[in-house]
Amino acid sequence: MTAPNPAADAMTPYQFPNPPEAAKEIVVQNAIPTDERLWVPQAENVWFRPLCLNVSTGYWMNLLRVRKSGVLSRHRHPQAVHGMVLKGRWRYLEHDWIATEGSYVFEPPGETHTLYVPEDVEEMITYFQVNGVMYYCDPYGQFTGYEDVFTKVDMCRTHFTEVGLGADFVDQFIR
Ligand code: FE
């Protein structure tokens, strides 16, 4: 450490490069896209918009969009999830609270739930950070399927190829 340079003020940018091992930053303009091709279909009335698919740490940041009485299938989280409702509202069949526009939600590890968007909500968009795995299950906890950051990448590649953006379009979101 050297002594602070008194000539440097608050507006002087950092003078050194970032570590060479550091991943490149991601900036997504129009994160809530108007280009319909950027929404990756996930189930009936359910889509996700990838923002950061972090294969080195095992999490993904995405917007979840659900229209009219869509359901995100029952699933268990072994790791925490953070969400912020950007539009509309939703609830879990397993809880009595409702997440409304502007709400922040913490889903603790160990939680199993079913996300439901009521009939009178035209469109719901929520920003979610999902860590590890989504373990899909029946009402009694028996395994029916899973998603992780790698299956999300695969879904994006397939979809972006189908809509003409190309399989490598997803690469900009992968770190
Ligand atoms: Fe969840």
Which pLDDT tens digit goes with each residue over 11-68? Answer: 999 999 999 999 999 999 999 999 999 999 999 999 999 999 999 999 999 999 999 8
Residue 163's nearest CA partner among 18, 29, 25, 35 is 35
Q: Looking at the chain, how many residues does it have?
A: 175
- Tokens linked to 29: 């303009």
pLDDT for res 8: 72
Give distance in angstroms: CA of 107 to centre of ligand 1: 7
CA of 79 to the centre of ligand 1 (A): 10
The one-character DSSP state at 118 is: -
Confidence of residue 3 (pLDDT cuts 50, 70, 90): low
Selection from 18, 64, 57 nearest residue 175 by Cα: 57
The structure tokens listed for 42 are 């996930």
Q: How far is the CA of 110 from the centre of ligand 1 (A)?
A: 10
CA of 57 to the centre of ligand 1 (A): 19
Closest alpha carbon to 86 in 75, 101, 72, 64? 101
d(CA 24, CA 30): 19
Query: Looking at per-residue confidence, does 5 or 152 come out higher?
Result: 152
CA 35 to chain centre: 18
Domains of the chain listed by start with CATH number: 45-170 (2.60.120.10)
How many Å is the maximal CA-CA distance in the chain?
A: 65
- Distance (angstroms) between ligand 1 centre and the Cα of 162 equals 28
Question: Ligand 1 centre and the CA of 77: distance in Å?
Answer: 6
